[in-house]
Amino acid sequence: MTKSNHAKQIETLTSSQNHGQSGSDDEHIVELENTGRRKFIGYMLKGSSFAVALHITSGAIRPQDANARLLGIPELADELDLTDLLLISGDPFYYDYLIKITSDNRVRFELPRMEVGQGILTAAMMILAEELDVEMSSIDATLSPAEIRRATGQITGGSHAVTSLWDPLRKVAAALLHKIKLSAAVHFGISVNEISTENGFAIDNNGSRIAYSELTAGVEGRNDAARLAKPKDPSQYKIIGTPQKRADARDIVTGKLDFAMDLDIPDAMPTVVARPPSLGGCVITYDDSEAIGLPGVLAIKEVPLDVDANSSGVAVVARSFGEAFRARDALNITWSEGAAEHLSDAEVIEQLRAINLPTLPKIPLATDSVGGEFIFPYLAHAPMETMTAVADATGSKIRVWTGAKTPLAAQAKIARELGVLPTDVEVNVIQSGGSFGRRLFFDAAVEGARISQIVNRPIKLMFTRQDDTKFGRARPLSLHNVKATYTRGFLIGKKVLSFDHRAATAELDLEHGFGDGITALGGELAPAAFSQTVWHSTQLVQYKFGATSLLLNEKKFVVPTSSWRGIYSGTAAVANEIVVDELARAMNEDECQFRLQMLDDERSKAVLRKVSREGKWGRRMKKGRAQGLGLHKEYKSRAAVLVELQTFKNPEKECKVTKIVVALDVNRVLNPTGLEAQVIGAATDAITYMIRTSLHLDNGAIRESSYGDFEIARMRNTPPKIEVHFMPPNGETPGGAGELVVPAAAAAIANAFARATGIAPRRFPLRDFYPEG
C-alpha cells in the first residue's frame, strides 16, 4: 500500500463507512518533540521543589503562602507532557521482551503491559506480525508477570501504552528478523540480501523455504543493541493501519479466556470481606458463632483493609462464594465510627472553596470577564469486572494472580506489608475486564496476600460490586474556578487578556508513582510533589489567550481516590472548554470560528475543521435542540467532538445526546477498528458522567452501591450513530488515544446543553442540577 492510499483509507474510515475525504488543510505535518533526559530531570526537580516550596501541609496551602502559588509552571505541558515523562523514565527498560519461536513454528510473545479491554494486546501483535512477516494467527500472546529488571518499563496508564511499545517492539522484532535472515543465508549458502521472509519462513532466491523454528529460538530479556535495528518503512506496511478484530474477542465471548476468578489454583478458596458501614471504620468486636457453623465455611478472621490502611473488616473463606456470602451476612459486628462519620459532599465542597485561590481581578470599566465555579462529583470507575485476586502466601514464595496495571508497585507493596523481599513476591498479571484507572491500584492483591497469610491457605478474593462502589476508589470531587478576561472594545477592540484556572480537588492518590517500587514509595512519601508534577505535565491552554495560569491545590479526604479517564483532564479541561464557548458568545463570535482564530496549534485546527464539516456545524435545529463543540490536546494527539443534544420539558426524560461526530489525530493509526471502539467507549463514558450519574458522600459513607443506582449510560441514552474520522498519518510515532476523547466529548455535551437551554452548566451530572420544567 502506498502512503497516499494508506492515508486515504484511514481518512475515510468511519462508523458508517460513507464519508468524504479531508481537504489539504487537514494534512499539516507536525513532528513529535524530541525531549532529552536532562530536560526531564530538570522539570521533575522544578515540579517537586515547587510543591515543597509551597509548604503544603495535609494537602492544603497555608493562607500566608497563597501568593507563592502564582510562581507555578503553567504551560509546562506544552513543552514536556506526561507522555514525555513516562517515555523518558521507562526508556532504559523498554527493550526487554520475550519473543520465542516454538518448535511448531509459532511465535510466543509476552506483553509487558496490562490488557483490560483497550486492545493493546492486539496492537502489539500487529506490530510483531508486521515486523516478523508472520500471520497474527500464529502469535500466542500473554501478559508478562512483574519483572523487577524492567523497573519503570511496565506501567500501563496515561494513554501511552502503544506510544511506548512502538519503537522498542518494532526494533526488537526487526533485529530478530535480521538474525533469522542471517541464519537462513548461512543455511542456503547465499548472501543475506538474497533472503526474503513470508508467513514464518525464510526463502532463498530459488523459492526454497525453511521455517523460523529451524533457524532461531527467538529472544528473551534485555536487548539494547536492538536500538540500532531498522524497522520497516511505513510504505511496506501490510498489517499496521488496516482494520483488525480484537485477537481475544472470541475467547472473551465464548468464555474461553480466564480472568483471575477463573484460574484453577490448587486449594485457593473463595473469599469475601465484611466491610464497615462508613469509610475508615474499624471492627470493635465481632461474633462469628452463627456464621462459623454454616456449611462450607473454612475460616473467619479480622483483617486490615488496603483501600484505607486505617480501616479493618472481617474476611470469610469458604468452599464457594455463595457459602462465603451467607456466612458474611450471618456475622454480628460492632463497628467504630469512620474517620469522617459526618462528612458529606456539601462539607467537602466548602472545604475546597476555603483552600482555593482567587483568580486575577478584572480592570473596572476597561475589561469584562466570563467564567465561574464548576463542580465535578466523586465518580466510580465501575469496570465490568470488579477487583479480584488469587493469593498464596503459605510458602516461602508469595504468589499473586491479579489484574495490575502497576505490577511492580504491587510487588513492592505486598513485600513491604508482609515483611519479605520483593524478589520473594511473584505477581502474575491476568487480563481483566475494564479499568478506567481503577487497576492502577492493586487493593485486592494486597488484601488477598494478607488474608492468605493470616488464614494460612491460598484464597480467591473478590470485591463485590457493592464493595467496589461503596468502599473502592473514586475520581476525586473537584472544584474549578475559571475566568477569562477580555477588553470591552472601546479603543482597541475586544481582545482576550488572560485565562485563569484555579482547581481545588480532593487529593488524587498517585502512590503508584510511575509503576515501580521506588517512585511508588516517592508517591506515598511526597504526594504533593507527584500531584503537582502530573498536573503541570497534563494541563495546558491551547489558545492565544494572553496571560494564562493553571494552578492546583488538593486536600485529603476520607474517600479513597484513583485517576479516572484522563487524570485531571476529565474535569479541568472540560471546565476550560465550557468557558471558551462562553467567551466566544460574549465577544459575539461563532464558537467554532472563535476557536479557529485563537488556537495556537495547527493540528487542533485541522481536527476542528474536520468535525465541523462532517457534523454540519451551524445547521438550523428545532427548539430545545443544539450542537456543541469540544476540543482536547494531550498524549501527543488531538481530538475534536461535535455533539447534538435534545432537551425535554419533562424532567424525568432528561436531555439526550442524539449524535456524536469525532475527528481524531493520533499521528498514526495502528488499528482503525480498535481505535474506533475506544472512541465510542470514551464518548459513551462522557454521556455517563456529564448527564447521568455520580457518587454521593453522605455522613462518611458512599450512597450508591451498584449499577442500580450508579447509572452508567444504557443503549437508550446513547445516539444511534457515533461517527469517527481519523486524520491522515501525521508523524511516525502513534500518540495516545485511550482517554483523549473523554474531555472533548464531555465539553461538547455541556456546551450543547448551554446552547439548547440558555443555562450555563456549572455542576454535574446535569440531570441532578438542571431539570427541565
Name which CATH class applies to 260-340+387-462.
alpha beta
pLDDT tens, 742-758?
Answer: 999 999 999 999 999 99
The answer for residues whose C-beta is within 8 angstroms of residue 552's C-beta and 6 or more apart is 503, 505, 531, 532, 535, 536, 539, 568
Alpha carbon 268 to its chain centroid, in Å, reads: 31
**Long-range residue pairs from 33-36, CB within 8 A, at least 24 positions apart, any chain:** 33/79, 33/84, 35/79, 35/80, 35/84, 35/88, 36/88
Task: Tell me which of 494 and 689 has the higher pLDDT.
Answer: 689
pLDDT tens, 157-213?
Answer: 999 999 999 999 999 999 999 999 999 999 999 999 999 999 999 999 999 999 999
Task: Tell me which of 95 and 28 has the higher pLDDT.
Answer: 95
Q: Compute and round to an integer the Cα radius of gyration of the chain.
A: 27
Domain 89-245 has CATH 3.40.50.150: no
Asked if 169 and 112 count as a contact pair (C-beta separation under 8 A), the reply is no
Domain ranges for the chain: 3-33+473-769, 89-245, 260-340+387-462
Query: What was the pLDDT predicted at 162?
Result: 95
Alpha carbon 394 to its chain centroid, in Å, reads: 34
Closest CA to 607 of 23, 18, 13: 23
Q: What is the mean pLDDT of the chain?
A: 89
Closest CA to 679 of 717, 722, 735: 722
Instruction: Quote helix, strand, coil % in the chain, to nearest 5.
Output: 35, 20, 40
pLDDT tens, 208-222?
Answer: 999 999 999 999 999
Residue 11, C-alpha cell as written in the block: 481518512
Query: What was the pLDDT predicted at 772?
Result: 57
Positions of E strands within 654-721: 656-665, 697-698, 701-702
Closest CA to 220 of 147, 152, 131, 166: 147
CA distance 675 to 370: 36
pTM attached to this predicted model: 0.89
Identify the band that residue 62 occupies on the pLDDT scale cut at 50, 70 and 90: very low
What CATH fold (topology level) applies to the domain 3-33+473-769? Aldehyde Oxidoreductase; domain 4 (3.30.365)
User: Are domains 3-33+473-769 and 89-245 of this chain identical in fold?
Assistant: yes
CA distance 773 to 765: 17
DSSP H or E segment with residue 5: helix 3-12
pLDDT tens, 250-306?
Answer: 999 999 999 999 999 999 999 999 999 999 999 999 999 999 999 999 999 999 998
CA distance 436 to 683: 13
